Amino acid sequence: MPESTAVVFEPGAGDPRFWRDGAIATTAFMLLVLLLLTVDSLRVLTEGGGGNVPAYTVINQKITYEFDAASNMDKPVIGGEELLFGHRYSEAEAKAIMDKGKLVIQSRSCINCHAFFGNGAYYAPDLTKAWLDPTWEKMWMPMTQAKTREDAMVQFLMHPDRYPTWARQMPNLNLSEEEARAVTAYLKWISSVQTNGFPAGFGRREVAR
Amino acid sequence: MNQSKKLGVQYLTASIVMMGALLLFGLLASIFYLKYGFLLGKLDFNIVKQVHINALIIACLWGFMGAIYWFLPDELGIETVGIGLARLLFWVFVAAVAVVVVVFIFVQYGSSDESGMWLVNQGRKYVEAPRWAAVGIVAVFLTLAYNIFASVAKARKVTGIMGVLMTTMIPLIAVYLIAFPAPTNMSVDLYWWWWLVHMWVEATWELMIGCILALALMKLLGTSRKVVEIWLYLEVALVLGTGILGLGHHYFWIGTPQYWLSIGGIFSALEPLPLLGMVVHAIYDAGKHQMKTHNKPAFLWLIAEAFGNFIGAGIWGFMMTLPQINLYSHGTQWTVSHGHFAFYGAYITGIIAVAYMVAQESRGIREVQGNAWKWAFAGLNIGMVGMVGALLVSGMSEAFIGRALGGSTLDGFMASQSNSWFMQGMIARTGFGVIIVASYFILAWDLLTLGRRSEKLSPALATT
């Protein structure tokens, strides 16, 4: 051990109190600001609280994503009735299917390939607006011979290995039909969240290959 | 050597071993980008990635704990209180991690109900560990906090560094409790989840490694306590002053109010400041002591930490954090580039520096010698800079093609993934990954055999 470490420190002696007090004051102030902002943010984030996150029963309605010139960003637009699986979900039913959907998403570790709101992994597409993806109608409905977007999604989620298309293939995660429906409902709900314009230009652009 | 120092050696050894798992699973994960259908249905990308990032968290935590148990007796002048319990929990911790990894690899997926969350996989990024294991982690943290607080009480001496370290124990435990619930509302879930991830990685851990490196600097260079403590307090003020509201850069797109765009943008632009301060501090001290040290590798890894933290966490983070850019860069390989550079620069380098100091002192080596450490140092740093550079190329092409041009649809994403610029970055990333893994083995061998090889040994030094 180098000799210089033998310096003995007496408590209190030479303690740079000025800097310590500054650090404590800064931290306390910032924490206070964060707490106030958190109270406001949670109000905006609560489902059906009138903020950015619609109630779970939004799955009974039509959802689109459109550019809003006034705020210069893309925003979800909630339209008239558009039932999911031909069923009108009550508040309790909607809550139950969302709870299930979230647990399926966690149990299959979806976010270690996919992302929600850009958080997760980047091996597979971000699912924030997956419900609104034009590809379901253009490609997957004919391929799965499903009559609706949600049925195509259920077919795909239950048997992704039957449809090896793009540069990546999704493994079969053994989802039951109930689980696949719950995930589909969850994806419909999450597409209705107002996300300050993320992702930008979704569904309005075509990339040349 | 007293019990606390022995435990420090154990945790640091475990940390270095865990880095091996981290790197092997990282290399494996990179192959998925190159080979279609790689291990599909056997060991899928998400499982490999999950082991990779959990190994990172555990390697960092074990490294910090090793350093703390190692330095504690020096700082307080007494054997750590409650060290028997801590030594027992080390083995429990190691066994629990082994069980979790085996379950991740062989069971992979649990049922979509509470039992799946408790027993198999919670499926929330970084906190995938099932709840039973998370309970164990809380127990280990509580023991660590007890060891520190009780030892300080017994020694009747609160140094500035110990004061900061004791304070970090509070957020370390408090925000970890967010690992337990699973709110259905993803926006609310992520709001709190970022308290855990950001407040650990960009605040609590920065201060923990700050304390550890402050202790290391005093030992390694003989920097005076007063200088080190003033810097540490300044760092606390700047890290928390910018970092607490810097949380805002994670609140751009999850459904949060729009004011977070401004708050997150401004405060995360300031976040590099404390990291720049640490570079100045390290260079100033090194110059003042004319770079004289008996442990060159530790010293150089310390300098690598200062620069790595500033560039990897600070510059690389700032580059993609302003909301106007983040709208396109967020959630692409650009993020991956920043993530790798930041964790390596801020934490892995610091832990390696401490590991060299501990190897030297615990084996009574007067002067660290040999060439192996130079190869490891060069290989790891060149490999890492090359890898994050390659990821940046892939990330930028992904942001431009998949996001800006493709509008983030499934088709846009896939177009970006098969683009040749993206693929070139991915190939280069794997190549540099091989360099990193090879250099890691040199590092591990060097640390393991330091002072035990046929080099000149000096008589044991004071503490042993």
Compare CB distances from A31 to B123, B244, B254 and report the shortest one's residue. B244
Instruction: Name the residue range of residue A93's domain.
Output: 57-190
Place of tokens 């307080």: B76
Phi, psi of B370 (to 5 degrees): 95, 175
CA dihedral (A188, A193, A195, A196) in degrees, to 10, reads 120
Query: How far is the C-alpha of B129 from the C-alpha of B61, rounded, in Å?
Result: 15
The pair of structure tokens assigned to B85 is 């319990």
Compare CB distances from B412 to A30, A110, A205 and report the shortest one's residue. A205
CB spacing of B331 vs A23 below 8 angstroms: no
Q: Show residues of chain B in contact with A67, CB under 8 Å.
A: none
Residue of A42, A106, A143, A157 to mutate for B, most B C-beta atoms under 10 A: A106
Does A139 reside within a domain? yes
Global ipTM = 0.94
The pair of structure tokens assigned to B442 is 């040199």
In this prediction, residue B282 has a pLDDT band, given cuts at 50, 70 and 90, of confident
The domain that holds A131 is classified in CATH as 1.10.760.10
Does A5 reside within a domain? no
The mean pLDDT of B304-327, rounded to a whole number, is 95
At residue A84, the 3 state secondary structure works out as strand
Place of tokens 């980008």: B33
Distance from CA of B44 to the nearest CA of A (A): 7
The domain that holds B14 is classified in CATH as 1.20.210.10
Does A36 reside within a domain? no
Distance from CA of A158 to the nearest CA of B (A): 14
Measured in residues, chain B has a length of: 464
Residue of B187, B262, B426 to mutate for A, most A C-beta atoms under 10 A: B187
**pLDDT tens-digit profile, chain A (209 residues):** 444 444 444 434 455 788 889 999 999 999 999 999 999 999 999 999 999 999 999 999 999 999 999 999 999 999 999 999 999 999 999 999 999 999 999 999 999 999 999 999 999 999 999 999 999 999 999 999 999 999 999 999 999 999 887 789 999 999 999 999 999 999 999 999 999 999 999 988 877 65
Query: How far is the C-alpha of B353 from the C-alpha of B295, rounded, in Å?
Result: 9
Instruction: Name the residue range of residue B131's domain.
Output: 1-182
Does B19 reside within a domain? yes
B209: Cβ contacts below 8 Å, ≥ 6 apart? B64, B305, B346, B347, B350
Give the HSE-up count for residue B413: Cα atoms under 13 Å, Cβ half-sphere. 28
The mean pLDDT of B243-247, rounded to a whole number, is 95
Angle, vertex CA B136, rays to CA B135 and CA B140, nearest 5: 120
Write down the pLDDT at residue A209.
57
Beta bridge partners of A73: A68
A151: Cβ contacts below 8 Å, ≥ 6 apart? A85, A144
Does B95 reside within a domain? yes
Write down the pLDDT at residue B461.
45
Does A173 reside within a domain? yes
Q: Say if residues B186 and A187 touch (Cβ distance below 8 Å).
A: no
Q: What is the pLDDT of residues B83-138, one digit of tens each?
A: 999 999 999 999 999 999 999 999 999 999 999 999 999 999 999 999 999 999 99
Q: Show residues of chain A in contact with B331, CB under 8 Å.
A: 115, 118-120, 122, 126
Place of tokens 């124990």: B169
Taking only residues 46 to 65 of chain A, the set having a beta carbon closer than 8 angstroms to any beta carbon of chain B reads 46-47, 51-53
Does A134 reside within a domain? yes
Task: Tell me what percent of chain B is helix, strand and coil, each rounded to the nearest 5.
Answer: 80, 0, 20
Place of tokens 């007293």: B2
**Total number of domains in chain B:** 1
A197: Cβ contacts below 8 Å, ≥ 6 apart? A71, A72, A73, A74, A75, B253, B327
Does A32 reside within a domain? no
The pair of structure tokens assigned to A40 is 């406001």
**What letter represents residue A166's amino acid?**
W
Cis upstream peptide for A199 (omega within 30°): yes
Q: What is the pLDDT of residues B162-205, one digit of tens each?
A: 999 999 999 999 999 999 998 999 999 999 999 999 999 999 99
Q: Say if residues B321 and B341 touch (Cβ distance below 8 Å).
A: no
Which CA distances in Å does B120 have to A29, A32, B94, B96?
40, 37, 17, 13
Q: Say if residues A74 and A197 touch (Cβ distance below 8 Å).
A: yes
- Mean model confidence pLDDT for chain B: 94
Does A152 reside within a domain? yes
Distance from CA of A80 to the nearest CA of B (A): 22
Q: Show residues of chain A in contact with B404, CB under 8 Å.
A: 200-201
Short-list B163, B164, B166, B161, CA closest to B146: B166
Q: What is the pLDDT of residues B17-35, one digit of tens each?
A: 999 999 999 999 999 999 9
Query: How far is the C-alpha of B248 from the C-alpha of B260, rounded, in Å?
Result: 5
Write down the pLDDT at residue B454.
65
Relative orientation angle of helices B131-155 and B160-174, to the nearest 10 degrees:
160
Does B248 reside within a domain? no
Q: Say if residues B439 and B381 touch (Cβ distance below 8 Å).
A: no
Distance of CA B74 to the CA centre of its chain: 24
The mean pLDDT of B258-273, rounded to a whole number, is 94
**Total number of domains in chain A:** 1
Compare CB distances from B255 to A53, A109, A124 and report the shortest one's residue. A53
Cis upstream peptide for B257 (omega within 30°): no
Q: Say if residues A137 and B410 touch (Cβ distance below 8 Å).
A: no
Does B386 reside within a domain? no
Phi, psi of A62 (to 5 degrees): -80, 135
Write down the pLDDT at residue A7.
44
Distance from CA of A52 to the nearest CA of B (A): 6
Q: Measured between alpha carbons, how far apart are the two ends of chain B, in Å?
A: 5
Which CA distances in Å does A179 have to A97, A186, B27, B297?
9, 10, 33, 53
Does A208 reside within a domain? no
Q: What is the pLDDT of residues A15-63, one digit of tens each?
A: 578 888 999 999 999 999 999 999 999 999 999 999 999 999 999 999 9
Does B31 reside within a domain? yes
CB spacing of B255 vs A174 below 8 angstroms: no
Q: Say if residues A26 and B240 touch (Cβ distance below 8 Å).
A: yes
Query: How far is the C-alpha of B336 from the C-alpha of B395, rounded, in Å?
Result: 8
CB spacing of B240 vs A179 below 8 angstroms: no
Q: What is the pLDDT of residues B377-423, one digit of tens each?
A: 999 999 999 999 999 999 999 999 999 999 999 999 999 999 999 99
Taking only residues 62 to 91 of chain A, the set having a beta carbon closer than 8 angstroms to any beta carbon of chain B reads none
Does B46 reside within a domain? yes
At residue A199, the 3 state secondary structure works out as coil
Relative orientation angle of helices B372-397 and B420-449, to the nearest 10 degrees:
160
The pair of structure tokens assigned to A134 is 């034009």
- Return the residue of B nearest to A202 by Cα: B407
CB spacing of A193 vs B187 below 8 angstroms: yes
Q: Say if residues A96 and A163 touch (Cβ distance below 8 Å).
A: no
Quote the longest CA-to-CA distance of chain B.
Answer: 67
Which CA distances in Å does B8 have to A22, A89, B3, B78?
32, 57, 9, 15
CB spacing of B187 vs A100 below 8 angstroms: no
Write down the pLDDT at residue B432.
98
